[in-house]
A = this chain, B = another copy of it.
Amino acid sequence: MILVNGAATDQVVVTDRGLAYGDGVFRTFLVTDGRAHNWRFQFRRLAHDCAALALPCPVEAVLAEEVIRVSAAQRECTVKVIVTRGTGERGFAPPQNPVPTRVVMASPRLPYPEEFARGGVCVQVCRTRVAAQPRLAGVKHLNRLENVIARSEWSDPAVAEGLMLDTEGNVVGGTMTNLFMVDENSLVTPELSKCGVAGVTRERILAAATRHGVTCRVEPLTLDRVLGARELILVNSVIGAWAVRDIEGRTLRPGPGMTRVQAWLEEKDD
């Protein structure tokens, strides 16, 4: 089911700035038995990203109700929320009083092979780099051509994800995931002040590490360091966590870092 501004329809006007310019933000998360996973984190991040684009954020209660409404027919589904700056005068100038477009849609949970979560995944390094744009860094906005192009670099279904580097050669994350590296007894995740998406699962892991007294550093991560890691973990709100099993010909094993992260993601932190 799809709701656009609360109405059941799968259509949006072609003059919407979301289509014209990618002028909007989105989120994707799981809903199970009428409960949106980590809703408070998702909404807080949506509000943050709207603010980054000076976009009015939908009212939380309205959005929460719509999320539940689109999911009602399914025990478990993926819900995507899109908020755009709506329509307006032509041209790049944002309307002074934008009336945002709010899209809420449910679809069946993507059928990733079960062994991805159980046994780890095969990952490659993409040629497509992520451009440095500090003004938009961290924001899950609708300008995602870099991810599309990076994702089109492989079609082998055995490759679950591709790592993307920034223009300086540091690892930003996967095309659709954030990355954690296990380094001795601590975790490291790429610093995202110049580019990348700061996802909710990354944020939850950072919070859990603090809560449990585990060091989790946020810093630039060269590809060499990543390729030399003992454990690599890819995360997002739909897949949870995948351990990297194979990357550029190197073989890794899910280890205690992965066990710890998975346990943290089961905690009720919302």
Interface residues of A (CB under 8 A from B): 2, 4, 10-23, 26, 53-54, 78, 82, 84-85, 90-94, 96, 103, 105, 107, 110, 128-129, 131-133, 135-136, 141-152, 155, 167, 175-176, 195
Contacting residues, chain B, for A144 (C-beta < 8 A): 20-23, 92, 143
CB of A158 to closest CB in B, whole Å: 14
Contacting residues, chain B, for A96 (C-beta < 8 A): 155
Contacting residues, chain B, for A10 (C-beta < 8 A): 13-15
Q: Once the chains bind, are B14 and A2 in contact (CB under 8 Å)? A: yes
Q: Once the chains bind, are B19 and A91 in contact (CB under 8 Å)? A: no
Give the complex CA separation of A12 and B93 in angstroms: 23
Q: Once the chains bind, are A23 and B148 in contact (CB under 8 Å)? A: yes
Contacting residues, chain B, for A85 (C-beta < 8 A): 148
Q: Once the chains bind, are A135 and B128 in contact (CB under 8 Å)? A: yes
Each complex incorporates copies of this chain amounting to 2
Name which residue of chain B comes closest to A162, CB basis.
Answer: B92
Contacting residues, chain B, for A90 (C-beta < 8 A): 78, 107, 110
Given A14-B10, A21-B148: A176 and B110 within 8 A (CB)? no
Name which residue of chain B comes closest to A26, CB basis.
Answer: B20
**A91's contact among B92, B94, B105, B176, by CB below 8 Å, is which?**
B176
Give the complex CA separation of A145 and B238 in angstroms: 26
Contacting residues, chain B, for A22 (C-beta < 8 A): 21-22, 142-145
CB of A25 to closest CB in B, whole Å: 10
Name which residue of chain B comes closest to A176, CB basis.
Answer: B92
Contacting residues, chain B, for A145 (C-beta < 8 A): 21-23, 53, 136, 141-143
Q: Which of A17, A21, A103, A144 has the most chain B CB atoms closer than 10 A to its own CB?
A: A21
CB of A77 to closest CB in B, whole Å: 12
CB of A14 to closest CB in B, whole Å: 5
Give the complex CA separation of A19 and B15 in angstroms: 11
Q: Which of A78, A129, A144 has the most chain B CB atoms closer than 10 A to its own CB?
A: A144
CB of A42 to closest CB in B, whole Å: 17
Contacting residues, chain B, for A54 (C-beta < 8 A): 152
Give the complex CA separation of A141 and B146 in angstroms: 11
Give the complex CA separation of A20 and B103 in angstroms: 11
Beyond known contacts A21-B147, A90-B110, A96-B155: 19 more, CB 8 A cutoff? A10-B15, A11-B12, A16-B19, A19-B19, A19-B82, A19-B84, A20-B142, A23-B144, A23-B148, A53-B145, A91-B176, A93-B151, A93-B152, A93-B155, A94-B148, A94-B152, A129-B135, A133-B146, A136-B149
Q: Once the chains bind, are B14 and A82 in contact (CB under 8 Å)? A: yes
Q: Once the chains bind, are A21 and B142 in contact (CB under 8 Å)? A: yes
